[in-house]
Every structure is written in C-alpha cells, then in structure tokens.
C-alpha cells in the first residue's frame, strides 16, 4: 500500500527505520508443518525495512483446519508486534473463512493496543490458492487499517 502524507511524520518513529528508508514490510512466506501427535506449526516471515533481517515468528497448536488458520494469524500478528518494537501489541479475536462474492474470503479480527489506546481491527483477504497465506495477508490488512499504517500489503506471490 502507498504511504499517505498523513503518516509521513511517523516514519522516523518506527524502531529500526532509518530516515529516508522505505519502512514497509513484505510477507516472505507462511508455512505449515505437521508434527507428530496431531500438532501443527506455522511460521511467518516478514521482510523488514531496508536491509534489516527478516522477522520470523512461529506458533504451534493442535492440527485442524480452523486451528491452522488461527496459528497463521497469531504468527503474523506476533511478527508485526516484534517489528513494531513494543510500540504496538495485538490480541487475536478470531479468524473466519467466509463464502462471499463467489469466492472464499478470510476475515481476521483483533484488538490493537498502541499508545495505551485499544482499537478493534478487522482485515480481509481473498483466498487465492493457499488459505494460510490469505490468513497472513488478512492479518496484515487488519494491522494496516489503524495500528500500523506503514505495513505494506503482501503481494499475492508470497
């Protein structure tokens, strides 16, 4: 997403972002690994601004379709919080696949806390192949709504 002039004053306030650097993030991958005993692990990697190393977060839990989507959203929100350097925190409300407009849409709802203010945020992404990637994209879209307007929407080829 393109930076708005509204947020230009925040560019230097994000940790690890040099002045004049592009502060947006990109989704590198969202991967699911099935383990023994019906356990799943989802890892999400975000490319940081400039030449910063990628941020990778993992979440583990019980293997099931809804649980895997939840793990993807949790890992994405954890990565976004880590990039924010403690200036923003997220609490996942839920993840829901919805059939709409002749397609499946993943909805992610969360609470975002920034500067002591708690805001309910919602993001959505069309499932274009992998529902886990759509979930990670929806979580990024949710965070991009209010809490972190400098997060770039991940490309469809992530």
pLDDT 10s digits, 91-120: 999 999 999 889 999 999 999 988 888 889
pLDDT recorded at residue 155: 54
CA distance 120 to 9: 23
C-alpha distance from residue 128 to each of 4, 33, 67, 155 (Å): 27, 20, 19, 11
What count of Cα atoms within 13 Å lies in the side-chain half-sphere of residue 74? 14
- Contact, 128 vs 113, CB < 8 A? no
Q: What is the mean pLDDT of the chain?
A: 78
Q: Which domains does the chain have, with CATH numbers?
A: 19-145 (3.30.160.270)
How many CA atoms within 13 Å lie on the side-chain side of 49?
A: 19
For the cut 60, the answer to whether the pLDDT of residue 127 exceeds it is yes
**E strand segments, the chain:** 26-35, 39-47, 55-62, 88-100, 103-114, 117-126
Quick one: 112 exposed, middle or buried, by C-beta within 10 A (0-12, 13-18, 19+)?
buried
Check: pTM over 0.95? Answer yes or no. no
Q: pLDDT tens digits for 32-65? A: 888 888 888 999 998 866 677 888 899 988 888 7
Rg (CA), the chain: 15
């Amino acid at each position: 997403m393109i930076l708005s002039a509204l947020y230009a004053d925040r560019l230097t306030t994000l940790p690890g972002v040099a002045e004049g650097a592009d502060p947006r993030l990109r989704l590198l991958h969202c991967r699911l690994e099935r383990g023994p005993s019906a356990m799943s692990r989802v890892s999400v990697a975000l490319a940081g601004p400039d030449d910063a190393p990628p941020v990778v977060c993992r979440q583990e839990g019980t293997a099931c379709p809804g649980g895997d989507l939840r793990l993807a959203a949790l890992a994405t929100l954890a990565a976004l919080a880590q990039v924010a350097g403690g200036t923003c925190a997220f609490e996942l409300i839920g993840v829901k696949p919805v059939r709409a407009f002749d397609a499946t849409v993943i909805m992610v709802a969360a609470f975002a806390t920034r500067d002591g203010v708690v805001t309910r945020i919602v993001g959505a992404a069309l499932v274009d192949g992998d529902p886990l990637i759509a979930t990670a994209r929806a979580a990024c879209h949710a965070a991009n709504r209010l809490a972190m307007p400098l997060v770039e929407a991940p490309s469809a080829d992530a």
